[in-house]
Amino acid sequence: MVIEPGAYATSAVDKLEREEDPGRKSGYGEMALVPGKIVSQLISSRANPQEIADFVLQVIETPGGQRALRYRVGPGGPGVQKINAVTDEVQVQVLEAFGVTALAKFKKPSSAGK
C-alpha cells in the first residue's frame, strides 16, 4: 500500500541538491527554471502535514481486504489520480497475464491455526 502525499512544506525541500554548474544549467534554456518553480510551489504550500498522519491512521483502521493499493492525500499533483487509475488497470492485466490474480488478493488469516 502506498500513500502519496501532495504538496506539503516540509524540511525535505531543504535537503534537495542544488545545481552547481551555471554553464551546464544555461544549456537547458527555459527548462532550467522548472526545478526552482517546483520548489517554490512546495515551499509556499499552506497544507498541514498533520493531514498525512491523520490519513495514515484512517488507512490503518480500515479493515484488511478493504484497503486500496494507493491513496492520494493533500493538495497538488494534478493528474496523479489518473495515473494511478491507469496503473491499477495495467497491474490487473499483468497479474492476469502471469496467472497470479488470485494470489494477489487479500486473504484473512484462518482461525484454524489458533
In a domain, 97, yes or no: yes
Residue 71 belongs to a domain with what CATH number? 3.40.50.720
Number of domains in the chain: 1
At 114 the pLDDT is: 55
Spans in the chain with pLDDT lower than 50:
none
> What's the predicted TM-score (pTM) here?
0.62
Q: Look at residue 14 in the predicted model and tell me its pLDDT.
A: 77
Per-residue HEC secondary structure of the chain comes to CEEEECCCCCHHHHHCCCCCCHHHHHCCHHHHHHHHHHHHHHHHCCCCCHHHHHHHHHHHCCCCCCCCCEEEECCCCCCHHHHHHHHHHHHHHHHHHCCCCHHHCCCCCCHHHC
Res 54: pLDDT: 95
Q: Is residue 114 part of a domain?
A: no
pLDDT value at position 77?
A: 63
Does residue 49 form part of some domain? yes
Domain annotation covers residue 61: yes
Query: Which residues span the domain enclosing 67?
Result: 2-106
Q: What is the pLDDT of residue 112?
A: 60
